[in-house]
Chains A and B, each alone.
Chain A
Amino acid sequence: MSKHALVQIQKINKFYGSNHVVRDLTLDVREGEFLTILGSSGCGKTTTLRMVAGFEQPTDGKIFVGGVDMAEKEPYERDVNTVFQSYALFPHMSVFGNIAYGLRMKRIPKKEIRKRVMDILDLVQLGGFERRMPAQLSGGQKQRVAIARALINRPKVLLLDEPLSALDLKLRKQMQLELKRLQRKLDITFIYVTHDQEEALSMSDRIAVMHDGMLEQVGVPKEIYEAPASKFVATFIGETNLFEGMVSAVDGDAVSVAVESGTICGRAEGFQKGEVVAVSVRPERMRYSTSPVKGFTIQGVVREQIYVGSVLKSIVVLPNGHEIKLERLAGDVLPMDGPVYLSWQPQDARLIHPRDQEVYHAVETAVME
């Protein structure tokens, strides 16, 4: 897999009227990688994808595909194909007609069209379906046709806009694996848009998390999960417990933070005493004890315990009402309504600098109000 950036998105902005949908987005997509743009609905991820496809023009900024500036290129001139959320199969054409469409538009000889369509039908496991009409297909089959149709022109980049969102859970899991398999086999760069963090974590080589039109973090799934760069990423990807406080002591990489309910600590570099920070701790990293642990003084009351088979989920309420989630391999049961001390291995906490932008946003909202 080459490290060469195939798609370069450089400082693009998109306005719809006064609505700033994509803000200063810069992102490189490497050749042959499976990159997922992850974000909640309305975060600008689909708009970004549509700008790469050419259906929307960035208000400013540039997009390059294979080193070529896309500014003047119409969608039909781009080496990029899209799988739409709604599939958008042509209802008046058979499966064969749908898949062959891109080749017909490129004026490929009939014989070759036939061969290529048959090959790709086998690849998406729809051999023998070429005469069916879209109305005679199930959701999963329609999905495969849509993917085959987009892949037939052998694009440099395949864009997928929440392609699995209309499928039921079981089928979705199966299609996730299949998409990943296809991507590896064809060695085509995929840009995949989804709001489903689990899907993103399981399929992607890298994930770009978007929020409010801005890129929050780009990284491999492990990085995104274990070292979230912002409060949004920490809370959006998986479950987490977030504490906000002020750095009270720094000793090497050991950082103590004073929060409302007491003192906690973590391990990180680049923090200074007096700085405002957020601390994120995953539920499965949380520990409890009946006696205090060095460095931690937060204490709470066990409120709820749910046994879900493999793990035991507990909720501990802090004196300020803040609910803390714990997840442990099923074992001993916590004393219900009893006081417990919370702690964790310092390296399991993730300290996050509040973003300048977040401060800016806070000020902006305050001024607006």
Chain B
Amino acid sequence: MSKHKFRASTLPVLATVGPVSLWLAFFVAIPLLYVLVMSFCSIDENYNVVFQFTLANYRNLLDVNYLQIYVQSILIAFFATAFCLVLGYPFAFLISRTFQSRKTILYMMVIIPFWTNSLIRIYGWRTFLGASGWLNRALTALHLIDSPVEFLFNRGATVLGMAYVLFPFMVLPLYTAIEKLDQSQLEVSADLGARGGATFFNVVLPQTVSGVFSGCIMVFIPSLGYFYVADILGGGNSDVIGNLIERQFQSGNNWPLGAALSIILIAVTLLLVKLYQKCGGDMQSLGV
């Protein structure tokens, strides 16, 4: 009897949730745990990982050179986020308020680049902005400049690249939030004597603030980690936290230190998400 009962209730659960649980365990939980353990390991003189508990990796993270890069990375992420928000909000508003056929076109303009490998698109920017790139050639041809201007290899280029790659992550949650806003709310506001600006700050923004939050989180956090953007467009002059991590695993060959950095980045991410939740953010619009 009890055996029969076990089968009846457990088998469907195992069959449906089982594969996903296994997948998550193997590809998310165990690697994460591995990184966590690694972050407390030491290395010997040949840079081999030895399983000997130490807090040295975390202490090393407080190195002044690192601190400078954290600040730089946060600034880059901040400006990339601000840039995305300023461009993304009006754009998302336009998509959600326009007629259907144009809506599809605008939506596709965000989604289709999203399907293309971002590495390739970042190289595209390099071709466009480079010393012999299209922009410089066009400006030279128009006699606006005499010699090519160096657009690349600075923090501005990295901010631009981050904003460009992550733009859809800003637009999509904003679009979802604005789409939910009832059109008659805008009419009521105008009816009661509010001009466009007053309506925006009193009615539209407060009701779409969850979209703003989730968009910002979804741009800000990856901006800390997308090292290839900083590599390709920043040319090593605008490292982000992602570059530090990448270097420890590659040329630096200091896996425990890289692991400690990763753990800190994950902790910061969780903290931001928690903050977002505290502010009344809706987890669904984060894709959680």
Contact = CB atoms under 8 A, between A and B. Distances in A.
Are these two chains actual partners, yes or no? yes
Interface of A: 53-55, 74-76, 80-82, 84, 86, 88, 90-92, 101-102, 105-106, 149-150, 153
B182 A88 contact: yes
Contact of B188 (A74, A84, A106): A84
B210 to A, nearest CB: 11
B191 A105 contact: no
22 contacts: A54-B191, A55-B190, A74-B195, A76-B191, A76-B194, A76-B195, A80-B191, A81-B192, A84-B187, A84-B188, A88-B184, A88-B185, A90-B203, A90-B207, A101-B202, A102-B193, A105-B193, A105-B194, A106-B193, A149-B192, A150-B191, A150-B192
B72 interface: no
Interface string B180-210: 0010110111111111001000110011000
B191 A86 contact: no
A152 B182 CA distance: 22
B213 to A, nearest CB: 14
Contacts of A90: 185, 188, 203, 207
B192 A153 contact: yes
Interface of B is mostly: helix
Contacts of A101: 189, 192, 194, 202
B207 A91 contact: yes
B114 to A, nearest CB: 31
Given A86-B182, A92-B206, A74 B190 contact: yes
Interface string B199-230: 00011001100000000000000000000000
B193 A92 contact: no
A88 B187 contact: yes
Nearest to B190: A75
Nearest to A100: B192
Nearest to A81: B191
Contacts of B187: 53, 55, 75, 82, 84, 88
A310 B46 CA distance: 104
Query: Most B CB atoms within 10 A — which of A55, A80, A105?
Result: A105
Nearest to B192: A102
Contacts, number: 58
In the complex, which of the residues B193, B202, B207 has the most CB atoms of chain A within 10 Å of its own CB atom?
Answer: B193
Contacts of B190: 54-55, 74-76
Contacts of B198: 105
Interface in B108-138: none
A105 to B, nearest CB: 4
A76 B185 contact: no
Q: Most chain-A CB neighbours within 10 Å: which of B192, B194, B206?
A: B192
A86 B189 CA distance: 14
Contacts of B193: 76, 102, 105-106, 153
A106 B184 CA distance: 20
Closest 5 CB pairs of A and B: A102-B192, A105-B193, A88-B184, A75-B190, A105-B194
A14 to B, nearest CB: 17
Nearest to A107: B193
Given A88-B184, A105-B194, 20 more contacts: A53-B187, A55-B191, A75-B187, A76-B192, A76-B193, A76-B195, A80-B191, A81-B191, A81-B192, A84-B187, A86-B182, A88-B182, A88-B185, A88-B188, A90-B203, A101-B192, A102-B193, A105-B198, A149-B192, A150-B191
A72 to B, nearest CB: 15
Contacts of A76: 190-195
Nearest to B209: A92
B156 to A, nearest CB: 37
A213 B181 CA distance: 30
Nearest to A91: B207
A38 B161 CA distance: 59
A81 B190 CA distance: 10
A81 to B, nearest CB: 6
Nearest to A101: B192
Contacts of A81: 191-192
Nearest to A85: B184
Nearest to A102: B192
Nearest to A78: B191
A55 B192 CA distance: 12
Most buried by B among A76, A81, A106: A76
A75 B191 contact: yes
**Which residue among B182, B203, B207 has the maximum number of chain A CB atoms within 10 Å of its CB?**
B182
B207 A92 contact: yes
A105 B202 CA distance: 10
Contacts of B184: 84, 86, 88
B191 A82 contact: yes
A320 B206 CA distance: 65
B192 A105 contact: yes
Contacts of B195: 74, 76
A56 to B, nearest CB: 10
A74 B193 CA distance: 9
A76 to B, nearest CB: 5
Contacts of B182: 86, 88
Contacts of A102: 192-193
Interface centre among B188, B202, B207 (most CB of A within 10 A): B188
A50 to B, nearest CB: 8
Nearest to B202: A101
B30 to A, nearest CB: 43
Nearest to B184: A88
Contacts of B207: 90-92
